[in-house]
C-alpha cells in the first residue's frame, strides 16, 4: 500500500483547494518529491482516480480492473484513513451478538488485500482540492492527474440544519459527547459510543440510553437507529441493567421497515425500548384502540390509521452539562404538543445527513443535499462526463443510501467505465443493480428484518426503487450478506 505519511506532512501544508504547498528546508524537498511521485503518469494507460475507498469507491475501482484484461487502465484510490470501518452490521457490536463474534468479523480492514488481489493502488491521503478543467486533484501529499475521476466520499453530518442556533463549539461537543456513529472514520465514533455504553453498564446501567434518529431527508441507512435500539436493548437484557433505550423520533413510526420494527418492539423489547414514550404494551394498546390486532395492523391500509394514534418527539435542544434533551411531545396526530425534558446517561444524537463536502471541490452540479447530479440513466455528472460518482453521494437517481446499492451500482459503474475506455461504448443498465438491507433485531434466536427492492429507470432516466419486499429472516442471513457484500471488496 502506498503510504504517504499524511501525518508528517499535514502540518506543513495549507489545506485549501488548489493550494500551494508551504513548507521549509528539507521538508520542502520531501514534499516536492512526493508531489512529483503522485503526478507520475504512465502514458500507455488511461488513469482513473477514485476519491474515497469506501463501499462505493473501492467497488468501482475493483470492477474497472475486473473488466480490463489487458491492463490498459491504471486505477488509483485516494483514501484518507488507513483503515476502513464497515458501518453495516456494526450495531451488532452494541448487542454483543455471539454468532457475529464466532464469525470473526473484524469490522476494520486495511487496503493490502484490495491492492494485491485487484491490481489497484491505494494511496492514504486526503483530497483537499480539484481542478476539473485541467483534470487534476490536490491531496495533502501532493497533486495527481487523471483522465477520469470517480467521486465517492460518502456523507457528512448536518448539525446546522437541525440546530441553526448552535455554535460550532456546541456542535463539537455534540460530536464528542453524543456521537452519531453513522460514518466510517476508522471506527472512532462507534468506539466512542461503545465505550460510553460499557461505562454505563459498569456504573450500574441506570437511566436512559437515548437515541435520536435523523429527522428525515436523505439519510444513510434509515433503519440503523432502530436496529441500534434493538441491539442496546439486547445489551440491557444480557447484563440485566435497570436502564432503558429511549427513542425520540419526530416520526410516529420507525422511518424504515416501520410495521416490522413495531412488531419487534412489542414482542421482544416491550420493557426495554420506549419508542416516543410508548412501551411495547402501550403500543399494543394503541393498536387495539385503533380497532386492529397484532395480526392485521401491519397491512398498508391499517398501518396509516395506527400511526395517527402514535406519539412523536421533536428534539429542540440538548444541555450537555445537565445531560438533558428538550423536545416537543405530541401524543397523537391531532396534538400540537408540549415541551418536555429527559435526562440521559448515554445519548446517540443523529443529525440530518448531507453529501460529503469533498464533492464540493469538484466543480460539477450538485443538488440541495450535496449529491452529485448524474446525467439521465448514467452514473457520471450531468456537467462533466469524465466525473463519475459512486455510493451515497450519487444524486439525480433516487436511491436510499446503502452499502448494497453502493456495491451493486458500483460494479456496474466500474464495468461501464472500463468498456468506455477500452471500446468507446458508453453503456450502463441501472436496472441490473439491487437493493437489499438487513437489520439485526433479536439476539435469541438470531432474527433480522430484510427489505429488498427492484430498481426501475423512469422516462427521465431516474433510477429508483420499486416493488418493496419486507420479511423477517434468520439473523445468520445478515452475517452471510455481510461476508458476501460488505467484506468482499476488502478481502477478496
Ligand X SMILES: Cc1cc2nc3c(=O)[nH]c(=O)nc-3n(C[C@H](O)[C@H](O)[C@H](O)COP(=O)(O)OP(=O)(O)OC[C@H]3O[C@@H](n4cnc5c(N)ncnc54)[C@H](O)[C@@H]3O)c2cc1C
Angle between helices 55-66 and 403-423 (to 10 degrees): 30
For ligand X, which is the closer residue by CB, 309 or 356?
356
Give the integer Cα–Cα distance in Å for 159 and 353: 8
Judged by CB under 6 A, the stretch of 54-62, 163-171, 199-207, 271-279 that binds ligand X is 54-62
Contact 120, 114 (CB under 8 A): yes
**Smallest distance from ligand X to CB 361, Å:** 8
Sign of dihedral through CA atoms 336, 341, 343, 347? positive
Q: What are phi and psi of 128, to 5 degrees?
A: -125, -5
Q: What are phi and psi of 329, to 5 degrees?
A: -95, 125
Contact 165, 44 (CB under 8 A): no
Judged by CB under 6 A, the stretch of 159-167, 219-227, 229-237, 426-434 that binds ligand X is 219-227
For ligand X, which is the closer residue by CB, 83 or 170?
83
CA-based end-to-end distance of the chain: 16
For ligand X, which is the closer residue by CB, 207 or 391?
391
Does residue 401 touch ligand X according to CB under 6 A?
yes
Show the CA angle centred on residue 375, arms to residues 373 and 377, nearest 5°.
Answer: 115
Pick from 320, 360, 331, 357: which is nearest to 154 by CA? 357
> Of 437, 455, 465, 479, which one interacts with ligand X (CB under 6 A)?
437
> Of 34, 50, 57, 111, which one interacts with ligand X (CB under 6 A)?
57
> Of 255, 356, 381, 416, which one interacts with ligand X (CB under 6 A)?
356
For ligand X, which is the closer residue by CB, 153 or 254?
153
**Smallest distance from ligand X to CB 287, Å:** 27
**Smallest distance from ligand X to CB 120, Å:** 15
> Of 92, 178, 404, 408, which one interacts with ligand X (CB under 6 A)?
404
Does residue 438 touch ligand X according to CB under 6 A?
yes
Does residue 142 touch ligand X according to CB under 6 A?
no
> Of 6, 220, 268, 420, which one interacts with ligand X (CB under 6 A)?
220
For ligand X, which is the closer residue by CB, 84 or 148?
84
Cell digits of residue 460: 427521465
Pick from 5, 152, 4, 130: which is nearest to 64 by CA? 152
- Kindly identify the residues of this chain, within the stretch 166-205, that bind ligand X according to CB under 6 A: 182-184
- Kindly identify the residues of this chain, within the stretch 58-87, that bind ligand X according to CB under 6 A: 78-81, 84, 87
For ligand X, which is the closer residue by CB, 90 or 312?
90
Taking each continuous run of H as one helix and of E as one strand, the counts in the chain are 16, 25
Helix, coil or strand: residue 366: strand
Judged by CB under 6 A, the stretch of 115-123, 157-165, 216-224, 262-270 that binds ligand X is 216-224
- Sort 42 into a burial class: Cβ within 10 Å, 0-12 / 13-18 / 19+: exposed
Q: How far from 44 is each of 116, 135, 345, CA to CA, in Å?
A: 21, 18, 60
Residues in the interface with ligand X (CB under 6 A) total 39
List interacting residues with ligand X (CB under 6 A). 51-57, 78-81, 84, 87-88, 90-91, 126-127, 152-154, 182-184, 220-221, 224, 356, 358, 391-393, 401-404, 406, 437-438
Amino acid at each position: 500500500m502506498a503510504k504517504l505519511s499524511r501525518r508528517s506532512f499535514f502540518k506543513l501544508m495549507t489545506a485549501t483547494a488548489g493550494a500551494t504547498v508551504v513548507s521549509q528546508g528539507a521538508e520542502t524537498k520531501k514534499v516536492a518529491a512526493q508531489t512529483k511521485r503522485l503526478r507520475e503518469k504512465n502514458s500507455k494507460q488511461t488513469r482513473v482516480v477514485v476519491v474515497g475507498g469506501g463501499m462505493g469507491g473501492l467497488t468501482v475501482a475493483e470492477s474497472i480492473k475486473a473488466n480490463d484484461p489487458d491492463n490498459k487502465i491504471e486505477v488509483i484510490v485516494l483514501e484518507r484513513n488507513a483503515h476502513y470501518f464497515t458501518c453495516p452490521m456494526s450495531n451488532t457490536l452494541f448487542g454483543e451478538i455471539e454468532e457475529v463474534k464466532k464469525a470473526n468479523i473484524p469490522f476494520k480492514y486495511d487496503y493490502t488485500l484490495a491492492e494485491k488481489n485487484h491490481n489497484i493502488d491505494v494511496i492514504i491521503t486526503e483530497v483537499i482540492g480539484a481542478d476539473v478543467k485541467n483534470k487534476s486533484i490536490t491531496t495533502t501529499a501532493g497533486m495527481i492527474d487523471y483522465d477520469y475521476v470517480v467521486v465517492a466520499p460518502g456523507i457528512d453530518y448536518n448539525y446546522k440544519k437541525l440546530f441553526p442556533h448552535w455554535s460550532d463549539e456546541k456542535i463539537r461537543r455534540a460530536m464528542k459527547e453524543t456521537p452519531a456513529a453513522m460514518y466510517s472514520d476508522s471506527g472512532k465514533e462507534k468506539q466512542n459510543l461503545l465505550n460510553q455504553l460499557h461505562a454505563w453498564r459498569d456504573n450500574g446501567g441506570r437511566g436512559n440510553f437515548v437515541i435520536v434518529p435523523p429527522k428525515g431527508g436523505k439519510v444513510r441507512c434509515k433503519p440503523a437507529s432502530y436496529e441500534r435500539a434493538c441491539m442496546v436493548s439486547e445489551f440491557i437484557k444480557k447484563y440485566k441493567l435497570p436502564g432503558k433505550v429511549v427513542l425520540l423520533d419526530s416520526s410516529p413510526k420507525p422511518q424504515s421497515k416501520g410495521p416490522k420494527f413495531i412488531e419487534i418492539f412489542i414482542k421482544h423489547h416491550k420493557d426495554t425500548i420506549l419508542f416516543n414514550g410508548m412501551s411495547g404494551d402501550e403500543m399494543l394498546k394503541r393498536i387495539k384502540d385503533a380497532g386492529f390486532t397484532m395480526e392485521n395492523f401491519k397491512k398498508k391500509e391499517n398501518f396509516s390509521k395506527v400511526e395517527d394514534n402514535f406519539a412523536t418527539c421533536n428534539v429542540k435542544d440538548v444541555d450537555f452539562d445537565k445531560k438533558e434533551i428538550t423536545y416537543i411531545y405530541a401524543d397523537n396526530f391531532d396534538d400540537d404538543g408540549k415541551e418536555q425534558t429527559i435526562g440521559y446517561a448515554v445519548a446517540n444524537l443523529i443529525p440530518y445527513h448531507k453529501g460529503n463536502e469533498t464533492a464540493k471541490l469538484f466543480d460539477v452540479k450538485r443538488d440541495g443535499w450535496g449529491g452529485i447530479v448524474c446525467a439521465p440513466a448514467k452514473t457520471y455528472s450531468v456537467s462533466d462526463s469524465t466525473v463519475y460518482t459512486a455510493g451515497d453521494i450519487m444524486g439525480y437517481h433516487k436511491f436510499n443510501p446503502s452499502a448494497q446499492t453502493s456495491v451493486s451500482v458500483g460494479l456496474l459503474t466500474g464495468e461501464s467505465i472500463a468498456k468506455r475506455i477500452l471500446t468507446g461504448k458508453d453503456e450502463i443498465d441501472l436496472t441490473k443493480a439491487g437493493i437489499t438491507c438487513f437489520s439485526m433485531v433479536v439476539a435469541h434466536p438470531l432474527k433480522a428484518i430484510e427489505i429488498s427492492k427492484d430498481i426501475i429507470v423512469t422516462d427521465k432516466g431516474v433510477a429508483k426503487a420499486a416493488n418493496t419486499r419486507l420479511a423477517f429472516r434468520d439473523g445468520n442471513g445478515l452475517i452471510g450478506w455481510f461476508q458476501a457484500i460488505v467484506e468482499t471488496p476488502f478481502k477478496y
